[in-house]
Amino acid sequence: MCGIVGYMGSERSYEILIQGLKRLEYRGYDSAGVALVRADGSLEVHKARGKVSNLEQVAKGGDTSGCLGIAHTRWATHGEPTDTNAHPHLSQSGKIALVHNGTIENYSVLKQLLTDNGYQFKSETDTEVLVQFIEYMRETHGCDLFEAIREALLRVEGAYAIAVVEQGNPNTMYVARKSSPLVIGVGDGETFVASDATPIVGFTDKVIYLKDNEIGIINRNSPIEIREIDSNEPSSFDVHKLKMSLEQLEKGGYDTFMLKEIFEQPATLRDCVRGRIADDGSRVVLSGIDMNRERFLNAERITLVACGTSWHAALIGKRLIQDFCRMPVEVEYASEFRYGNPVLNEKDIVISISQSGETADTLAAIELAREKGAFVYGICNVVGASIPRNTDSGTYIHVGPEIGVASTKAFTGQVTVLTLVALAIGQLRGVINADRVREVARALKEMPETISETLKIAPEVEALSRIFTYAHNFLYLGRGYNYPTALEGALKLKEISYIHAEGYPAAEMKHGPIALIDREMPSVIIAPSDSLYDKIISNVQQVKSREGAVVAIVSKGNTAMNDIADYCIEIPEVPECLTPIVASIPLQLLAYYIAVNKGKDVDRPRNLAKSVTVE
């Protein structure tokens, strides 16, 4: 989820690159860097941990002239956010500079090959391996830089968008892409490059979207040339007109970060499972579990600890682990766990779940668990945060920076990773059968398409939101896997619209909340066609007999509910254990549109913080 900017023209590139990086900061901001090629061919590189403003401080003392340059803002995936791990990375000779978005999956094999040939590495990144490999190709093939990049990319597995410049050549920049976007902006005597169009807006409205497996040569003295990486044949391209305005920039064209993050979920869930399911779908591969096989084989109990939305994901995790691993599982609020005198020993595994990785209660809970000898596994989004640094092992959810305070894409990422974790442990302990692994793994791989399909209901949910904007109370009901989904739906509404909402197990409603139901109290009922569908129908009837309005979230094609509920929202059918991921989409949208109708600041709701570092 990093950002790339490049410029070649007659202006000083530095200021243009810095401005572009600032516009891309929403993608990640743990470190930034710039490589400039001056007219005399000399190469100057500046890098700094933290925001782009830190980079500006660092570069202040240097020579920032040069009309060709590439720059990058990073959201760490390989290696912690440090100055050294920041891009651009240089080849062994220091002559080739490269910025990269994506992940090089076979980087360890390439790194070994390079190490065997005397190459040394300064950073922990896969990107440094790529730039060194390009230089290795140039040396071993005796070719020019363009050919060396192409030869290297032919041998690389994974996803990338790259921009490359070279010492001694102030007239050429190379770009390439596979599964990671890259845009070329065509100006008057100048060319821009970026990972999305945001840095280009205001400079030119003519853009070329590089396609997968294409490599582009941007030369000061000749027209842009694009070729196929595989065949080296010229590739045709269209120049598109950019419609984005400057105001829309940061949010990638969306009105708010929250809406952008909701709509990003097809892509974030793809990133989340990438490389973690064997190509034939038969196995889940999580290095954090594979490297600690004994601990997982000998474990007698798993305890999940978390706060807020992450705690809701933990409740779903409990069901998943129970179903796939057939072992005892507990879920605790981190704040309760740490003061609850927990009984733990070295046969316990504690899984902490946190988007930010900085939540004080969760951090304290895992410290306590480690003191008591438990093995602590972290599920986190922010790479290099305190929680992953203080756990024995773990898995990142890789959904990119979440800026909206109300968590959306992190929640679906957490549930996805918990599914993978449960599958991996179940496989390791030999308690889940191969067909079940394949069925769930296939559905996880298809999840980006499933979520894209689900998001098509947004206009319908927006229309529905207008009916309920001024309700004072809401009830959210679900059963089984979707009881936690109900809790999360209610939390979303509370957080951003300030409407009181309660999530409840649907069958428990009759033991209390039913007393609240009347015409003024709508209920949102999550009722996909799963093993508890018949049961939940009777819960819907109970609400309807008290004149309560019912919004039912149902599986596509379910017409039976139309006769009972007031409004039905259809979601695609998926295996029961994955219904929380899909069902949470309409709940996020409903909360979002109600808050917008009420004129609330959805990205910065009152009193809340994205990362809660106090007890």
CB of 363 to ligand G6P, least distance (A): 9
CB of 352 to ligand G6P, least distance (A): 8
Instruction: Provide the H-helix boundaries in 25-174.
Output: 52-59, 107-116, 126-141, 145-154
Number of helices (H), then strands (E), belonging to the chain: the values are 20, 24
Q: Which of residues 405 and 569 has its CB atom nearest to ligand G6P in the complex? A: 405
Which residue is nearest to ligand G6P, using beta carbons?
A: 308
Tell whether residue 308 is a contact of ligand G6P (CB under 6 A): yes
Label the pairing between strands 550-555 and 523-527.
parallel
Question: What burial class does residue 430 get, using C-beta atoms within 10 Å of its C-beta: 0-12 exposed, 13-18 middle, 19+ buried?
Answer: exposed
Q: Which of residues 211 and 610 has its CB atom nearest to ligand G6P in the complex? A: 610
Tell whether residue 405 is a contact of ligand G6P (CB under 6 A): yes
Q: Which structure tokens are listed for 540?
A: 């819907």
Q: Which of residues 362 and 482 has its CB atom nearest to ligand G6P in the complex? A: 362
Which is catalytic among the residues 2, 67, 325, 568? Answer: 2
CA 208, CA 367: separation in Å to the nearest integer?
Answer: 50
Q: What mask, x for binding ligand G6P by CB under 6 A, covers residues 228 to 257?
A: ------------------------------
Handedness of CA 251, 254, 256, 261 (dihedral sign): negative
Q: Which of residues 314 and 589 has its CB atom nearest to ligand G6P in the complex? A: 314
From 181-189, 199-207, 323-331, 604-612, span contacting ligand G6P (CB under 6 A): 604-612
CA 182, CA 208: separation in Å to the nearest integer?
Answer: 9
Q: Which of residues 358 and 453 has its CB atom nearest to ligand G6P in the complex? A: 358
Cα separations in angstroms, 15 against 51, 65, 244, 603: 16, 10, 21, 29
* Nearby residues of 468 by Cβ (< 8 Å), 6 or more positions away: 474, 522, 551, 590, 594
DSSP 211: P
Q: Is 2 an annotated catalytic residue?
A: yes
CA 64, CA 56: separation in Å to the nearest integer?
Answer: 10
CB of 381 to ligand G6P, least distance (A): 8
Query: Could you please report the per-residue DSSP string of 196-248?
Result: SSTTTTTT-SEEEEPPTTEEEEEETTS--EEEETTT--B----PEEP---STT
CB of 398 to ligand G6P, least distance (A): 15
Q: Which listed residue (326, 431, 608, 613) binds ligand G6P by CB under 6 A?
A: 608
Q: Which of residues 167 and 362 has its CB atom nearest to ligand G6P in the complex? A: 362
Whole-angstrom Cα Rg for the chain = 26
* Nearby residues of 563 by Cβ (< 8 Å), 6 or more positions away: none
Instruction: Provide the H-helix boundaries in 498-554.
Output: 533-544
Q: What mask, x for binding ligand G6P by CB under 6 A, covers residues 266 to 305?
A: ----------------------------------------
CA 206, CA 214: separation in Å to the nearest integer?
Answer: 19
Q: Which structure tokens are listed for 138?
A: 């140039």
Q: Is 122 an annotated catalytic residue?
A: no
CB of 155 to ligand G6P, least distance (A): 38
Tell whether residue 309 is a contact of ligand G6P (CB under 6 A): yes
- The owner of tokens 């890098």 is 47
CB of 409 to ligand G6P, least distance (A): 11
Tell whether residue 167 is a contact of ligand G6P (CB under 6 A): no
Q: What mask, x for binding ligand G6P by CB under 6 A, covers residues 51 to 70?
A: --------------------
Binders of ligand G6P in range 351-380 (CB under 6 A): 354-356, 359, 362
Tell whether residue 218 is a contact of ligand G6P (CB under 6 A): no
Residue ranges that bind ligand G6P, judged by CB under 6 A: 307-310, 354-356, 359, 362, 405, 407, 608, 610-612
Positions annotated as catalytic residues are 2, 610
